[in-house]
Amino acid sequence: MPSTDTDACVRSMIIMASGDLDELARVVHPQAVNREARSEPPACRGTGPAAFAATARWLRAAFTDLTFDIHEAVADGDLIAVHCTMSGRQVGPFVSYDEHGEVAQAFPPTGRRFAITHSHWFRTRDGQVVEHWANRDDLGLATQLGWIPPTPAFLWRMARARRHARRNPDT
């Protein structure tokens, strides 16, 4: 087990980006929930390490060289806040989902790099993450990856990517 609750939270982020997903069981509680999973694939909406691993696989399918550069991490009781920069390169479609788990949007790969700031919030119990939510710079991500302002060609590619994702939900 990590030595502190803060270490567990930071370690969970590192594992999500590039680590061995089996290691999540050491830092993510079996009843942990990810409050950000509402726009992620249905497998991400469960609890525990398996749901967090599903989120990691979803992110890794869209982005390579994914890293979280941790700037600060602070604790107040069981509440941990982590300020960081997430960076990587988009190599696969980034697919978002609606509340029913259906494909809402698919942003085709651009090959571009990005670096955006996040604030991640965690609750911990017994040295493990039990809850996660985040504030992300989604506008910065969309701008850096060339999703906005959309060109007519990119809108066409989005429509094709969305159609492909709806026909092939497991890819």
pTM score of the predicted model:
0.90
48 three-state secondary structure: helix
pLDDT of residue 1: 46
The conformation of residue 40, written as its DSSP 8-state character, comes to S
Distance, in Å, from the CA atom of 166 to the CA atom of 171, rounded to the nearest integer, reads 10
pLDDT for 8 equals 97
- Collect the ranges in the chain with pLDDT lower than 70: 1-3, 171
Tokens standing for 149? 């302002």
Q: Could you read off the pLDDT of 50-84 as tens digits, one per residue?
A: 999 999 999 999 999 999 999 999 999 999 999 99
